[in-house]
Structure 1
Amino acid sequence: MQAPQVSLKVIFTVHFVLTVWSGMCVFPTSYLLTQGVILAFEFWAIVNSENPEPIQMGLLTQLVSIVLDIVMISVHSNNYNYSLARFCLAMAVINLIIKPFTGFVLYRIYQERGGTQPGQYENIDQRNEIETASPHEIIDKVP
């Protein structure tokens, strides 16, 4: 098994466990929807191991979810006082803390799969050859 596939499976498992534990409470549906979309993209990346597209979509969704998680945790942190809610909130915070690290790993896997960054120059025909200009050949023979 390749190292990126193992990394993806570990990331998926950690996010899955933390999402389940943080979802045991009465958090908004938007939180579970966002986490579910991230898990779906990570699962798609595991199944489709050659394509950089699922990694890119998962990485973008994860970046957006960091902001959404901060808002959700800050809004709902004072609403619950019982121990299960504190546990769920703690798991959501841990999930939020590990997202930049897993995002970095996802970005490295994205680069290994051949993903390109915006603004990076690519040849139209997708070759890695550098074409150089040469002077025109003289077609007519000199008399």
Structure 2
Amino acid sequence: MSGYYLPPTYLYMNGFMLAFGFWGIVNTESSQPILMFLVLLVFSVIQDCIFIGIYQPRGYDTVETRPVKASIRNEFRFSLGMSIVNLLIKPVTGFLLFRIMKSRDGDFGDLNIPGINRIPTFGGSAGTYENIDSPAPYSGKVETATGYDVSDKPVLQP
């Protein structure tokens, strides 16, 4: 990472994302690690946009406009390109994480994105397929048994 471009916070955030991603791969029973990884991914996208917006002009002024060695200039250009590629890949990663989270635990099936309710992977109508592991749909009608009353019992004569 170029010392002229991004602060150490960028490295720490991506390190934490790597740790949560590893935790999500190892712990396959629960969807909570994937959910935490997804939340951290959203925060890292916001942080990357802020860092690129703030630190790219500073790095450009330091490296491109002043006479510096070609290796430093190339390092700045490479780190800028890789951070932009990393930022462009994160939405695809978020979509795949959402799919993994939904496949591990069906509780997130009602999570809808406004305006995108026709795609089966985002809630909405998934068709007539009914998973064999899920219970039958609840119709809302509950049958109640009538209670047993002692007065209904015939009296025994000795």
Q: TM-score, normalised by structure 1?
A: 0.69
Which of residues 95, 100, 103 is equivalent to 2:91?
Answer: 100
For 1:115 and 1:33, how far apart are their aligned partners in 2? 32
1:68 aligns with 2:47: yes
> How many residues in Structure 1 have an aligned counterpart in Structure 2?
114
CA contact (8 A) 1:52 1:115 kept: no
Q: Which amino acid aligns with 1:61?
A: L
For 1:114 and 1:58, how far apart are their aligned partners in 2? 15
Q: CA RMSD in A?
A: 2.5
Which of residues 5, 10, 25 is equivalent to 2:2?
Answer: 25
CA contact (8 A) 1:59 1:107 kept: yes
- Helix, strand or coil for the counterpart of 1:54? helix
For 2:7 and 2:107, how far apart are their aligned partners in 1? 35
Which runs of 5 or more residues in structure 2 are unaligned?
64-72, 112-133
For 2:34 and 2:107, how far apart are their aligned partners in 1? 12
- Helix, strand or coil for the counterpart of 1:79? helix
Which runs of 5 or more residues in structure 1 are unaligned?
1-23, 121-126
Q: Which has the higher contact order (CA 8 A, sep 6+)?
A: 1
Partner residue, 2:146: 137
Identity %: 35
Q: Which amino acid aligns with 1:45?
A: G
Residue-by-residue CA offset, 1:24-55 (whole Å, 9 max, x unaligned): 21221111111111111101111112221110
| CA apart distance, 1:117 | 3.3
For 2:144 and 2:100, how far apart are their aligned partners in 1? 43
| CA apart distance, 1:119 | 7.4
- Helix, strand or coil for the counterpart of 2:17? helix
Q: TM-score, normalised by structure 2?
A: 0.63
